[in-house]
Amino acid sequence: MSTATTMRFGIEEALQQLGIEDTNKGTSTGTDWFAGGDAIDSISPVDGEKIASVTTTTKDDYEKVITTATEAFKKWRTLPAPQRGEIVRQFNEELRRLKEPLGKLVSYEMGKSYQEGLGEVQEMIDICDFAVGLSRQLHGLTMHSERPGHRMYEQYHPLGVVGIISAFNFPVAVWSWNTALAWVCGDVCIWKPSEKTPLTGIACQKIAARVFAENGLPEGISCLINGDYRVGEYMTTDSRIPLISATGSTRMGKIVAKTVGERLGKTLLELGGNNAIIVTPDADIKMTVIGAVFGAVGTCGQRCTSTRRLIVHEDIYDKVKDAVTDAYKQIKIGNPLDENNHVGPLIDTDAVKMYQDALKSVKEQGGNVIVEGGVLEGEGYESGCYVKPAIAEAKNDMQIVQHETFAPILYLLKYSGDVGNAIEIQNGVKQGLSSAIMTNNLREAEQFLSHGGSDCGIANVNIGTSGAEIGGAFGGEKDTGGGRESGSDAWKIYMRRQTNTINYTTELPLAQGIKFDL
């Protein structure tokens, strides 16, 4: 670790507060840390510096983890749900105490702005609040039986071991969405964070393990494994894990779905997005610009809900184009720990190449780049991961527009006629995560939200595509995977449903009036 770098950004102090040493083993069943695999380096895209090395999980390591988790489940599931909620509340208190250092580590290891890093930890806090309340509301229905003297009802039981595979762009929040709910449902969790952001995973595991240990609860309720896709395969092929929650690309999700499906396991998939904002003639232009620009450049375009397409009516197209391009001139790009900057780096140089290839494809396919991109060089940009947000005029059927590019590239698309034409353009991609319409016309808004409107899992009016609240279920349709996480009744995916019938009479009538006399 570069002492000069960490001292300058305050990272060394943050790591100390989180209990992370310079070199860490990357496998944990709780308080027991071990690993026998190769080392992977955590490299910050902020300055290209190595933060620390993490040792990957071997197959033997994994077997120890799954055995410990399975044993822990036997005790954890017997605790009443409100008691499990109390443990989540204590975990939440630790997150509140450590919000600043954890947010700083998220920012430095992933590259998002410090405010977004703090916001991500706040999402963890919010989902824990939600889960604590949920621990007293794990309800089932009561149904009337057709047989006299019978009672029918349904209840939910914990599944067992939940496997969580998360992506680099939200290195802690998505884990917490799954874990907080799974814990109150009575499940135990094994988490494989992205190999690009392993230290944030270690930080969270240390916090959780400390809470469980202080309460005399067994190791294995929260487990951590580290490594690349091969480590993830340990979970996806393991029939001892009934549910795999995976966040990432559509390509990855299809592999996970096939693998888990072959063993008849359950999957919760949060995959790619190709999100659009429709801008009608009745839109508030100022609000549109704010929503579109943050949606397109926030997290350097590396959110699954990032705005990729701006679908603008021809009557106001030039006005909107000018307003958005003017706003791009005000964007400040640089060290994300400096709160004066709006945009930090892409995650690594591979992402930079993908960004460059996408811009090249735009031009080759007939698009018109109106805000040129490019890689930034010089002082402060030594990591080679800083790029300029770009805007291109394009058509929806262009191959590159149909593809999700995880980078700050915004496509301007023009529509004519009524809003139905814009909705058709918006829906004309394989992904179906987030969508939005900017309009003050009630009829347009309602049409957008109707059965024939947006086909996405999230549909917003007069806000952008990015920035979901934990109270609502998060997820999308089509190539986005169909899963739902976070709020509403998303907790049910972590449990198995059971229907119960109780006969409190001295006779045994059969259903549907069937007679069977002996």
**pLDDT grade, residue 22 (50/70/90)?**
low
**pLDDT grade, residue 23 (50/70/90)?**
low
304 is annotated as an active-site residue = yes
CA gap 122, 505 in Å, rounded: 53
Tokens of 85: 């909620």
**b/e code 162-175 from CB counts within 10 Å (16+ = b):** bbbbbbbbbbbbbb
pLDDT digits (tens, 9 = 90+) for 178-200: 999 999 999 999 999 999 999 99
pLDDT digits (tens, 9 = 90+) for 392-423: 999 999 999 999 999 999 999 999 999 999 99
**pLDDT grade, residue 6 (50/70/90)?**
very low
Of the chain, the percentage scoring pLDDT greater than 90 comes to: 95
Task: Please report, as a single letter, which amino acid is at residue 474.
Answer: F
* DSSP assignment letter at 241: -
* DSSP assignment letter at 333: B
pLDDT digits (tens, 9 = 90+) for 109-149: 999 999 999 999 999 999 999 999 999 999 999 999 999 99
Per-residue model confidence (pLDDT) at position 236: 98
Are 22 and 51 within 8 A, CB to CB?
no
Q: Tell me the domains of the chain and their CATH numbers.
A: 3-271+481-497 (3.40.605.10), 275-469 (3.40.309.10)
Give the H or E element holding residue 10: none
pLDDT digits (tens, 9 = 90+) for 219-257: 999 999 999 999 999 999 999 999 999 999 999 999 999
**pLDDT grade, residue 24 (50/70/90)?**
confident
pLDDT at 4 > cutoff 80: no
Write the CB contacts of 483 (distance below 8 Å, at least 6 apart in sequence).
245, 267, 268, 269, 270, 475, 493
Is residue 331 classed as helix, strand or coil in its secondary structure? coil
Are 235 and 452 within 8 A, CB to CB?
no
Q: What is the sign of the dihedral through the CA atoms of 339, 197, 23 and 162?
A: positive
Per-residue model confidence (pLDDT) at position 26: 94
154 is annotated as an active-site residue = no
Phi-psi category of residue 251: left, alpha or beta, with phi > 0 → left and psi -120 to 50 → alpha: alpha
pLDDT digits (tens, 9 = 90+) for 66-83: 999 999 999 999 999 999
Of 304, 385, 444, 456, catalytic: 304
Mean pLDDT of 383-397: 98
Looking at every residue in the chain, the average pLDDT score rounds to: 96
Distances (CA, A) of 454 to 62, 275, 311, 412, 425: 42, 11, 13, 18, 10
Tokens of 23: 């070199």
* DSSP assignment letter at 57: P
Per-residue model confidence (pLDDT) at position 8: 59
pLDDT digits (tens, 9 = 90+) for 500-515: 999 999 999 998 989 9
Alpha helix positions (H), 80-147 = 81-97, 99-110, 114-134
Burial of 443 (0-12, 13-18, 19+ CB in 10 A): exposed
**pLDDT grade, residue 154 (50/70/90)?**
very high
CA gap 434, 5 in Å, rounded: 38
CA gap 104, 116 in Å, rounded: 10
CA gap 435, 428 in Å, rounded: 12
Distances (CA, A) of 193 to 56, 170, 228, 256: 11, 10, 9, 15
Per-residue model confidence (pLDDT) at position 179: 98
Of 195, 219, 270, 485, catalytic: 270
pLDDT at 62 > cutoff 80: yes
Give the H or E element holding residue 9: helix 3-9
CA gap 166, 200 in Å, rounded: 12
CA gap 408, 272 in Å, rounded: 15
Of the chain, the percentage scoring pLDDT greater than 70 comes to: 98
